[in-house]
Amino acid sequence: MSSLIRTTGKEARPNPRADPRWVAARFDRIARSYGLFERLFMVPGQCRKRAVERLGIREGHRILDVGIGHGPQLLAISTPAGDQGRVVGVDLSTGMLDRARDRIREHDLWNVELRHMNILDHHPIEPYDAVLLSFALSSFGEPARVLDHVWRCIRPGGRLVVLDAQIPPTLKWITRPLMPAIRWFLERTVLGDPDMRPLEHLADLGGHMEVEWFRGRTYFVACIGKLR
């Protein structure tokens, strides 16, 4: 399925996630209420904690947080990186980045740098030790392209960790007739793509992947080590 055109079964229509301006505008609108959506979707705090653990952060590490949003994991990421470490957070939404800046000031996280940009335009001089995408992958119109790009930003021996969600396979027969309504709702709230198969895109990277599931098979943390 093209990242630019989505097939609904009856007709094809543009995929709004393919337009970074559309994505940014949506997240700007929900920036102040994003936490409410997390509670609505019953996002378990354990999965965020586990995603940070799988990054394997050590003193001096360079970490890239893609789609950092309001920075819910900033403290947990920046602390183990220490004085010599660096955390770079990238996001399309100025509203979300404003909330992340509030968090940085609150906790005095001076080893964190925020950048308002498209991740595809980010070309680091030095590779990262680990990259995190936390509920970000399913918001991109071209997830495979994003993964290929961030994979190149990781040093050999580094890690890519993805925290995201999918419709559980056991529920797809129930949700299939409701998909237009589900898609409509998600595009007006958290932007997750119900049609995306994130683990298939991750498997295409070719690294060794380990997956942990939460709330049945709804939320997952996937970790891939880069061998070379």
Listed by start position, the domains of the chain span 5-225
**β-pair partners for 91:** 116
CA distances from 104 to 52, 163, 204 (A): 17, 22, 35
Across 18-27, 40-49, 161-170, 203-212, the highest mean pLDDT is recorded for 203-212
Residue 83 and residue 67: Cα distance in Å, rounded?
23
Supply the pTM of this predicted model. Answer: 0.82
Q: How many CB atoms are closer than 10 A to CB 129?
A: 22
Residue 202 and residue 163: Cα distance in Å, rounded?
12
Contact predicate 61/87, CB 8 Å = no
Task: State the pLDDT at residue 24.
Answer: 83
- Rounded to whole angstroms, the maximal C-alpha distance in the chain is 55
Residue 142 and residue 18: Cα distance in Å, rounded?
7
**Average pLDDT value over all residues in the chain:** 83
Contact predicate 147/201, CB 8 Å = yes
Contact predicate 221/157, CB 8 Å = no
Select from 3.40.50.300, 3.30.230.70, 3.40.50.150, 3.30.1370.100 the CATH code of 5-225.
3.40.50.150
Task: State the pLDDT at residue 146.
Answer: 96
Looking up tokens 């403290």 gives: 75
User: What are the pLDDT digits (tens) for 127-147?
Assistant: 999 999 998 898 888 899 999
**Amino acid, res. 190:** V
